[in-house]
Chains A and B, each alone.
Chain A
Amino acid sequence: MDDSVFHRLYEQYHQDVFKFLIYLTRDRDQAEDLVHEVYVRVLRAYGGFEGKSSEKTWLFSIAKNVAIDHFRKNAVRKKHLFDKFDWEKSELVSTGVLPEELVTLSEEMKELLQALNTCTGDQKMVITMRYFQDLSIAETAEILSWTEGKVKTTQHRAIKALQKKLNALSTEGGELDDRQ
């Protein structure tokens, strides 16, 4: 293992990758484990990285894959299913202990994050990348292997889905069941 590569990647990307993963999992322990897995995959593959994409988008594409693998394993474990896990259409449901930073949010922000947790995987991923990571449309498209048009469309649909869920919640006074 090349420690110097780790040090450089840590300084440049660590907190961003951690934030990406903790917003997806909403669990500090899980995010720490997944960050470790990202480093393992990146460090093993680093020698073969050809620079055809930016290092940042390459690293986030690996982080995205690690996160999807995590949700897939959870889905398989929970449902005892071994059929196809379509992350774009499935909910990437977080089930761990909420980090303190999210527990202390305003009620509106909590409701918004709960609603996001019930969106489809593609919507949750795009919102996380675009709003929480400040990734550009081009960067998001590259990480997800999508066109920029698909990123825009998915983001638009995600906002509409959130709006619908939250307005229904306000009207009915119910709760979003995001802890399945």
Chain B
Amino acid sequence: MSPETAAPSVAPSRVIGLAELFRGFATIGLLGFGGVAAVSRHVIVEQYRWLSEKEYATVLGVGQVLPGANTVNAAVIIGDRFQGPKGSLVGVLGLMVLPILIVMALAALYNRFADIPAVNVALTAAGASAAGMVIGTGLKMLSRIRPGIAGWIIVLLAVGIIVGLHWPLVRVVLLLVPVALALTAWLGRK
């Protein structure tokens, strides 16, 4: 069996301390540009190996279904898992502190740099790049997890409804979760 299909209760054998949690989530906060999805998977699954691909996808799925920022919810759950409530707190702090300081600095400087063409060009490119990386991250998770028929239908439904019909996310989630549960129960993991 590949590590991705390992039972969700299997935790890494090494101790994951508060400092490591802070560093990891601070990296996500600092480099998660235009959609944190790509960086957060990179840090959590590949760089620090806190979770397997499937565990990460599960935590993220729960974070998406619950209200609030997805990555913040993931930080709460992952932090608690390794270091209890303190871990949750350190994870969220790591994620939020640098971005808040940066947004204050940018707001203070905004009028000075907003009209510089080079800044706009670089930001446009960074936005396009981040978007591509988010798509690549989703496709990579898909190729590693190898969902069954039900899984494929659910993925296609999600993409179709959001990209094709432009439904608000709340409605998509409220519709998709029961449909996904029913489909999975009915078709199993074929």
A binds B: no
Q: Using a CB–CB distance below 8 Å, which chain B residues touch chain A?
A: none
